[in-house]
Amino acid sequence: MRTGASLNRSSPDADPRPRTAGLPWLFALALWLLLVAVTSLALWQLHRSALESQGREMALLSLALTDELDRGLQGAEEGLQALALELGRRRLPLDDDQTLQALQTRAALMPLVTTLWLLDKDLAPMASSEATPPPDVRTFLPHLASLGEGTCALSQPFTPAGGAQAQVALALRVGALHGHPGGWIVAAMPANQLLGAFGVALPAADARMAIFRSDGVLLAGVNVGLLRAGKSDQAQGPRLARERFADGSEHLVGSHRVPRYGLDVVVSRELGAVLQGWRGALQLSIAALAFLLVTMAAAVHFVTRSERQRLAAQQALQVQLARTSRLEALGALAGGVSHDFNNVLAGIVGYGEMAQDAAAPGSDQARHLDKVLQAAQRGQLLIERILSFSRGGARASTVFELEPVVEEVLTLLTASLRPGVVLERMLAAPGARLRGDATQVFEAVMNLCTNAMQAMPDGGMLSIRLERRRIAAPQVLSHSPLAPGEYVALSVTDQGVGITPEVMEHLFEPFFSARGPQGGTGLGLAVVFGVVTEFGGGIDVDSRPGQGARFTLYLPECADALPESTAVSTAVPSGAGQRLLVVDDEPLLLAMAAELLTGLGYEPVCFEHAGEALQALTEAPGRFAAVITDERMPGLAGTQLASDLRSRGLRLPIVLVSGYGGALLARRARESGVTRVLMKPLRRDELARTLADLIP
């Protein structure tokens, strides 16, 4: 029943992946992109907020510094104007000693001012508060000669002789001085005091601040570095900009103009320090998005894989259910036909045996009857094979060890191996027991091994493995489901050409064969399927292109003890006139059974209806020694009759006779209280020994 292709448990064109398999990926990607967009928007807003906040802080700082610088210079200018007023009223002595003392007093009273000089109209020194020369008049802006009366100019920073601190000079143009037309009052101020308190209290370690003259000359600053003068003019207010310095660093620069003195106050912070918190949030967001992407990808992968596995399992289950349904239908059909044919055979065998007893030994009649019984026996064997497939055979149910049965099969195979076939055995389940008919298992294993050898015409390895297996969860095998439990797994593996998907669909159907007209009846694998199902197990078939096939039978392991062996007598025992109640809906079989039992020394009382038999037993329960009943009858089946008798307290022996009893007949019979099950057609010696065992 093999052909040269591989096993495919589903349709060749079937794709276990759903058509919407890409939707979870698209949904996850869209969700992740949405999160990226929301995060980007939040980060952009945070970036903007950080820059705006720092910009406001720097604008306020530059404004405060500008205000303090303006007030300090105005205070110095007002002091110079007051001094000029005294000079104009000639209240200030101009002789050397008095002038020095007066200028020193005035300098001490003026904020920021350390030294005062009086210059004439030719810019020559006239008097000073200290014996130090004034700053170079060429360093003032605007030029002193261009100043109008009452206007000021600032010099470049200079260091007085013997001084250690840079200073900046403020010059004021005044009118006539003591009879001389025009002049200037110059006041020196420490450069670092122009910054006020901001020079020693920076808002941050990376902050820079400076005061520039309008021509770009630096007057004072802290951490100036590469800081440059602002580009604002007198018409502009505060300015905030991002600038890249010569060293490549990028800074946030704010500037403010002091128009009266032509000064620019510039404050800056390194952009990296300003955005340090934002960059931390950016790195954290990127890490979170990357982790989320990996997590979502893993989740979608596992979900889609589980969905594919679920669909594949569902498809395999549908295929398996279709096969099982088809086999069930064929089994029911075969069982029904076999039952009716069995009834015909029962009449032939029964009356044939009685006719044979009446025929003269050695006569033509006896010889003809032998041929009739032989033909009926062949028909009975064929019916048994069909009933094995349909799980309807009334087989004996006993506890037996499986390994000796397999050993017996292998012993027979060893003697008939064709050249090139190597037999490998791995039996690792000593003591494993099953409940059922050992003959059925023997036939199933023999059919599998014979089939495997026929699949290897050029030789190969035939491997038989027997082991225990625990099934923890329900499984779907290639041709049947398998419930959880303890099983004995029997595997038969060959190195043949494999099985095509077309043959796989009909593999266990009765009368189907892929070996042509000379292939036999086509019942071998059908019997295997029926035996496995009768035992409550499952069957799995696996095949690969050019690598043969493996059949695995899962048979439930039994924990019951082995029965005690009893000696079998060859003599046909007879009865002693015991009254037997016989029930069968076939009048021909009922008449045959009555005549057969009478010949065996019993008194049969026959009923065609199970209800009448039940009433007779209820009215006179001690009247009968045993009950013989058919299984399939209209109205009340034989197992139902037995169950009713047991429920009424009747303990007499009940013999169930059946040619077709449905699935797991032995279990039903045991649960209903049947004492013994016999297979149709009844053989006289088997019936006689059974009655002799049951009736005391």
Which comes out higher in pLDDT, residue 530 or 506?
Answer: 530
545 and 615 inside one domain:
no
Q: Give the total number of structural domains in the chain.
A: 3
210 and 87 inside one domain:
yes
Q: Is 441 helix (H, G, I), strand (E, B) or coil?
A: helix
Say yes or no to pLDDT of 502 above 80.
no
231 and 88 inside one domain:
yes
CA atoms within 13 A on the CB side of 187: 29
What is the percent of the chain where pLDDT is above 70?
Answer: 80
Where a domain ends, among 493, 523, 556? 556
User: Among 352, 350, 348, 349, which Cα is nearest to 367's?
Assistant: 352
377 belongs to a structural domain: no
pLDDT tens, residue by residue, 580-596:
999 988 888 888 888 88
Domain holding 466, by residue range, is 395-556
For residues 238-267, one letter each, b for 16 or more C-beta atoms within 10 angstroms of the residue's C-beta and e for the rest, the string is bbbeeeeeeeeeebbbbbbbbeebbbbbbb
Q: Are 264 and 211 in contact (CB under 8 A)?
A: yes
416 and 499 inside one domain:
yes
Q: What is the mean pLDDT of residues 516-523?
A: 48
Predicted confidence at residue 570, as pLDDT, reads 54
Q: Which stretches does DSSP call E strand in 208-298?
A: 208-213, 218-222, 239-244, 250-258, 263-270
Predicted confidence at residue 575, as pLDDT, reads 79
Beta strands at 250-258 and 263-270: parallel, antiparallel or unpaired: antiparallel
Q: Check residue 572 and report its DSSP letter.
A: -
Say yes or no to pLDDT of 50 above 80.
yes
479 belongs to a structural domain: yes
Predicted confidence at residue 517, as pLDDT, reads 45
Peptide bond into 681 cis (omega under 30): yes
348 belongs to a structural domain: no
Quick count: other Cβ atoms within 10 Å of Cβ 470?
9
Q: Which stretches does DSSP call E strand in 396-537?
A: 398-401, 421-428, 433-436, 460-471, 475-476, 481-482, 485-493
359 belongs to a structural domain: no
Which comes out higher in pLDDT, residue 353 or 592?
Answer: 592
Which domain CATH number covers 612?
3.40.50.2300
Which domain CATH number covers 235?
3.30.450.20
Q: What pLDDT band is residue 387 in, cutting at 50, 70 and 90?
A: low
Which domain CATH number covers 490?
3.30.565.10
What is the percent of the chain where pLDDT is above 90?
Answer: 10
Say yes or no to pLDDT of 207 above 80.
yes
Q: What is the mean pLDDT of residues 186-209?
A: 79
User: Among 35, 40, 27, 36, which Cα is nearest to 299's?
Assistant: 27
Where a domain ends, among 274, 298, 316? 274
Chain-wide mean pLDDT for the chain?
79
Q: What pLDDT band is residue 518 in, cutting at 50, 70 and 90?
A: very low
pLDDT tens, residue by residue, 68-94:
888 888 888 888 888 888 777 666 555
526 and 669 inside one domain:
no
Say yes or no to pLDDT of 294 above 70.
yes
* Stated pTM of the model: 0.44
185 and 246 inside one domain:
yes
300 belongs to a structural domain: no
Say yes or no to pLDDT of 380 above 80.
no
Say yes or no to pLDDT of 451 above 90.
no
Which comes out higher in pLDDT, residue 384 or 9?
Answer: 384
Tokens of 449: 């091994």
Tokens of 116: 């005062």
Which comes out higher in pLDDT, residue 642 or 336?
Answer: 642
Predicted confidence at residue 2, as pLDDT, reads 42
Where a domain ends, among 274, 289, 315? 274
Tokens of 542: 């696996």
pLDDT tens, residue by residue, 469-500:
999 998 888 777 889 999 999 999 998 888 87
Question: Which amino acid is residue 639, in one-letter code?
Answer: T
663 belongs to a structural domain: yes
